[in-house]
Structure 1
């Protein structure tokens, strides 16, 4: 009995010690887990800043401005809020014109670059959305190590970023004539009311309920064609009578938002300044244009969304037609190429003709170089040379995926068998790879790729764009003239 009791006591003691050890291990493990979570959510990781902007040759007259800076210097001001880069650019141009006409300082929100375009919001909804768009408390997101799961609050952090306008364009000439304060963040637009202005009499708000609520007119007699889609006219002379320190607009997007009469010199001067001047973008574009040489032609073909999908066949035919019509071809060559290719555009067959441009109208005709000059540069010749192919290099900018196999591009690629896309120049895109926004650590490379596309097409000897596209209009009316002046 004594022996059996002694054995039982030993077993019990061993079990007790094992349970105690297990409890200690579990307690230690729980403590370590809690400590790791504490470090994960309370520590801000180091943020790699991007210094490329500061290395630029552009020295903006007005620095990027915070709400606190504004509260220290209250004068009469005008503020405009906005979607899509080119829509924002047009709104910014209109705001600059209005600020000059009203003799007010412009509080310019930054350009919002995002993976998805911002849809239109009526004034009150937009105001609330901007107020909640700040990134306070998310400073740790850019520094999350790649081997850790992204915290839920950071999941969409890298989908967008804000960049002041004077980082993309040289606005020094404009800012010599008028004062522009560049806000750091879209949320500052809402914060201005609480930080600077205290009563309704301090702010004149022009609320909009739809994208074409009002048009702003300088005065005089104007054609109804430019005002038909707008519900209300606002005269500049009426706005000049208000003495409120702040005038706040909703959307100012729209090429016909401002009606200035016969004198568009102010708007023209502003548009001339909207040429992309970022040094890294210029370096990347130079690597592509140097490879293509000076005799290439460029097109922008928008087919991927909205009305452009429905009009795809007609758009592709029109771009192709406008391109071949302005080359240095004989009427017979144009007719032969037209007859050979027009059936490839599906529903356009037999409904639209592609007649040559009269020689006296072809101001931008491009001579045809010999193909041997470009043979070594043509990486993917589209078929063998023939009577219906042109030996001129073509740079294609488009929004459709797998563009080389897209049906609507086939007649264009057959006509211009030495065609290039931006994807053919990965080394140029790699130049943009290290660009980061110094404020929030978000990579800018993917947002800057469309800018690179625009710059390359703008350097082409001849450019043809998509009717109704703001991208095409920007290249045709701003970049191309600036690069060829």
Structure 2
């Protein structure tokens, strides 16, 4: 009798060559009938079934082994690829040589002489410094002095860690060169208008007959870093080379470096790149868009690494204790040591009696001018509370009695300075309550007679960029509180000692450009000094100058 079939169904039979994880690969369809009862089911040979089962099991095990091998290889390949991309800094950092035939937009600057008129008087002969196999690092400075200083600090650290000679630019004083994307800033830096206006050197900037072409000649000048600060300690550990005029021609003629032997890291914004001395897959935790591992700079085969902007106290993210100490050493070397400035600052200090308080108040331009009322009040509060120790209630009462219309709704926010707390200094000796300026510098107003206000009779030196500070309405808060207040204008003899100095580069008088430095050095020698929030200049005064003059550890920010 024929066996009864209740229904038919389809099942896939896996081929011994199938691959796990792939759909419908190596399968075939077979007809399957419902099982018969045991009585009617014919006997099945045992050995063939066992062999088939073992064969399938062995094939499955092989497939699993192959899969594991493939996954391991793929994982290792992924890690290698990620590491390669990271160390190559995304390949997007590598730009074609700085030439019109590659970029299609940038005009290569005209070739200039090896030592241009901008820098010739302050550089050493290149052929005595360089070697054919020497590798270099360069960057593009911009903006005001303190932005240039911070960029130099970062450049010195990067060059030292990557074992490259730094092409050291001069300091630009006066009208600043504003930040621009790499190609624009590179071309602007190589501007040789001063070279072509050499005839202006012999003319007086106050002469009404001066040609109009010379109008901007006296607006800015250049000096060597060695003129202002002492880099001898830095030079003991790394090589610096002056003289580059920001042209490809100079690199070719003096260092035998062609554009094909330059590795460019071109920025299009201020915050494009940061640099770190550790490996991480994580994106930069700071305000920068990409992180470059410093080790990659040391392994680049090109003889020159050309960077764009390096301004920013937090641009270098350092975890190595040796690198952190290196940056500290570099920053300590930025204290002003020019003998002309030192003599003038010492003269101001002596005139103030040696013991005085200091305020560095930036309110004259940009965002600082916009926030001038708030910053002035905040500096006043810091001086009374953090330096002189007045209680909040007493300060509020004094403020309302002296400046009823400018007292503010309540206490200002006095932020905790955590970086300064990480570099504590020994307790200061008590400020002498009988401190007075020399007899040649009488106080501006009558002294306080109330016992609680006697500390306000202390000599106070205010360093500020405000015009006519003694008559500035914002500074009434200080002039009315401190009868013995002084400004840089009160020391004409010390100021005059700098007026005859001229830049050896272009003959431009240096006096007007040096006043902020003298101002900072005078306030930096105070018994204690407070600065302006968010000002890199004030931070330099409080973190570096004041601490260096007292022999304390400097504060590192960033």
- TM over 0.5, yes or no? yes
The DSSP-based 3-state class of the residue aligned with 1:460 is coil
**Aligned-residue offset at 1:74:** 5.7
TM-score for the superposition, normalised by structure 2: 0.68
Change in Cα spacing, 1:341 to 1:159, as seen in structure 2 (3 Å) is same
2:227 is aligned with 1:167: yes
Paired with 1:422 and 1:147, the residues of 2 have a C-alpha distance of 27
2:261 is aligned with 1:216: no
1:253 aligns to what?
311
Paired with 2:223 and 2:240, the residues of 1 have a C-alpha distance of 15
Q: Is the 8 A contact 1:288 1:428 kept in 2?
A: yes
Paired with 1:74 and 1:148, the residues of 2 have a C-alpha distance of 53
2:194 is aligned with 1:128: no
1:334-383, Cα deviation, whole Å (9 max, x unpaired): 6324312157385661232589x9xx999447524226x44835445245
2:178 aligns to what?
119
What aligned pairs does 1:99-248 form with structure 2 within 5 A after superposition?
99-114=159-174, 116-133=175-192, 135-144=194-203, 149-183=209-243, 187-195=245-253, 196=255, 199-220=258-279, 227-248=285-306
**Aligned-residue offset at 1:463:** 0.7
**Aligned-residue offset at 1:220:** 4.9
Change in Cα spacing, 1:328 to 1:299, as seen in structure 2 (3 Å) is closer
Paired with 2:313 and 2:377, the residues of 1 have a C-alpha distance of 26
Paired with 1:168 and 1:376, the residues of 2 have a C-alpha distance of 32
What aligned pairs does 1:56-71 form with structure 2 within 5 A after superposition?
64-65=123-124
2:507 aligns to what?
441
Paired with 1:189 and 1:80, the residues of 2 have a C-alpha distance of 12
Change in Cα spacing, 1:353 to 1:85, as seen in structure 2 (3 Å) is closer
Change in Cα spacing, 1:342 to 1:127, as seen in structure 2 (3 Å) is farther
The DSSP-based 3-state class of the residue aligned with 1:326 is helix
1:369 aligns to what?
433
Q: Is the 8 A contact 1:208 1:214 kept in 2?
A: yes
1:66-89, Cα deviation, whole Å (9 max, x unpaired): 677777756200011111000000
Q: Is the 8 A contact 2:139 2:309 kept in 1?
A: yes
**2:488 is matched with which residue: 419, 422, 427?**
422
Alignment RMSD (CA, Å) = 3.0
Please, which runs of 5 or more residues in structure 1 have no aligned partner?
1-53, 55-62
1:371-412, Cα deviation, whole Å (9 max, x unpaired): 6x4483544524553434611000001111122232332222
TM-score for the superposition, normalised by structure 1: 0.78
Q: How many residues are aligned here?
A: 415
2:134 aligns to what?
75
What aligned pairs does 1:404-415 form with structure 2 within 5 A after superposition?
404-415=470-481
**2:526 is matched with which residue: 428, 437, 460?**
460
2:302 is aligned with 1:277: no
1:302 aligns to what?
362
Q: Is the 8 A contact 1:214 1:233 kept in 2?
A: yes
Farther-moved stretch of structure 1 (187-196 vs 148-157)? 187-196
The DSSP-based 3-state class of the residue aligned with 2:195 is coil
Change in Cα spacing, 1:138 to 1:257, as seen in structure 2 (3 Å) is same
Could you say which structure has the greater relative contact order, defined with CA pairs below 8 angstroms and 6 or more residues apart? 1
Q: Is the 8 A contact 2:352 2:438 kept in 1?
A: no
The DSSP-based 3-state class of the residue aligned with 1:135 is helix
More helix by share: 1
Change in Cα spacing, 1:154 to 1:72, as seen in structure 2 (3 Å) is farther
**Aligned-residue offset at 1:212:** 0.9
2:401 is aligned with 1:335: no
The DSSP-based 3-state class of the residue aligned with 2:523 is helix
Q: Is the 8 A contact 2:431 2:527 kept in 1?
A: no
Paired with 1:317 and 1:327, the residues of 2 have a C-alpha distance of 15
Larger radius of gyration between Structure 1 and Structure 2: 2
Paired with 2:250 and 2:405, the residues of 1 have a C-alpha distance of 55
